[in-house]
Amino acid sequence: MTPQIDWLEQLDPVRLPEHEKIKSQWVSTYAKIHRVDDLNAFTIFERESMYWRKAVSADEKLKSCTKISLYSAFIELAVNGLSLQPGSKSECFLESRSTKIGRDQQNNDVYANLCYLRITAYGELNLRIMAGQIVRMKNPIVLYEGDHFQPTTDGRGNLIIEYKPAIPRKSNKIYGCWVCIELPGGSLDFKWLLVDDVERLKKFSIPRYPNAKANNLYTSENGGVDPGFLEAKTIKHAMRAYTKLRVGENVAMDDEPDTDEPEGSAERFGKPIPENTDTVKFQLNPNETF
């Protein structure tokens, strides 16, 4: 449902959730979809409104986004049941993306800043649990040199993992990561990323313009990949085997490339794994593939 654009255009992007029409719709939507009472839905609304204000007030490009895209992104929070709470395992964040909306009289491309709700690997995991595709996913296990990791099968042909960590750790060099997924019916699934996979992803992370470099999280841990970054990559890799989730037009999964925009025009607030924890606003590589 789209509100009348006339009154929407008058709203302050930072204080958009405070409008009574939007507040009422958000609470009602959350309560109906996630089967909670209005009081619980309102409590969650208050929390997400706080995160919204912090995100938008700290980012000028988000403030410049079209009001309808800001409204849609905020309502999508209620639809998907995710949180904007920042942190290393955040579920989603706001992204300002310059998108082509047409051409002018001189036949030049015309762009507008649109706000998207970008869902991280952890947010996608929660959506798949809510959808019943998986029961749960155990915490990813980072593999260090000296650890024993061997995929094999049991007598019935079921995949199992032989894993024995080296304790005390023999090396700080990471060579992979694996995860165990519990599926409906009690069966288990296993996914992993090893050195060759990480190197392939590192190459994919290089933007397509001159002198571009790979995401520095691939080399930030004493020349190796950041362990938290690798955990998120492993979760994302694991979920590729399952049915694609259906999301709204103003929602993007964190592995989807940005389209129809000039280089460097995408800007995100609330990067899940910050490269610099002293900053407030973060830049991610818009061309990186999970």
In sequence order, the β-bridge partners of residue 109 are 103
Q: Which of 62, 28, 76 is nearest to 249 (CA)?
A: 76
Confidence band of 263 (pLDDT split at 50, 70, 90) = very low
% of residues, the chain, pLDDT over 90 = 57
pLDDT, residue 175, reads 94
pLDDT, position 214: 80
pLDDT value for 104: 72
Q: Given a cut of 80, is residue 157 above it in pLDDT?
A: yes
The per-residue pLDDT for 159 is: 92
Give the percent of the chain with pLDDT over 70.
86
Q: Indicate whether 46 pLDDT > 70.
A: yes
Highest mean predicted confidence (pLDDT) among 45-54, 95-104, 263-272: 45-54
Quote the pLDDT of residue 4: 54
Contact 32, 38 (CB under 8 A): no
The single-letter DSSP state of residue 217 is G
3-state SS record for 67-120: HHHHHHHHHHHHHHCCCCCCCCCCCEEEEEEEEEEEECCCCCEEEEEEEEEEEC
pLDDT at 147: 96
Structure-model confidence comparison of residues 285 and 65, the more confident one: 65
Q: How confident is the model at residue 277 (pLDDT cuts 50, 70, 90)?
A: very low
pLDDT digits (tens, 9 = 90+) for 62-95: 999 999 999 999 999 999 999 999 988 899 999 9
In angstroms, rounded to a whole number, what is the distance separating the alpha carbons of residues 220 and 60?
29
The whole-number average pLDDT for the span 184-204 is 90
Q: Which residue has the higher pLDDT, 96 or 111?
A: 96
Beta strands at 109-119 and 251-253: parallel, antiparallel or unpaired: parallel
Each residue of 202-219: pLDDT tens digit? 888 787 777 778 878 888
CA dihedral 64, 65, 66, 69 (to 10 degrees): -160
User: What pLDDT, on the 0 to 100 scale, is given for residue 271?
Assistant: 47
- Residue 128, pLDDT score: 94
Q: How confident is the model at residue 203, as a pLDDT?
A: 84
Average pLDDT, integer, range 110-123:
90
Q: Evaluate if residue 5 carries a pLDDT over 70.
A: no
**Position 192 confidence tier, pLDDT thresholds 50, 70, 90:** very high
- The model carries a pTM of 0.76
Mean pLDDT of the chain: 84
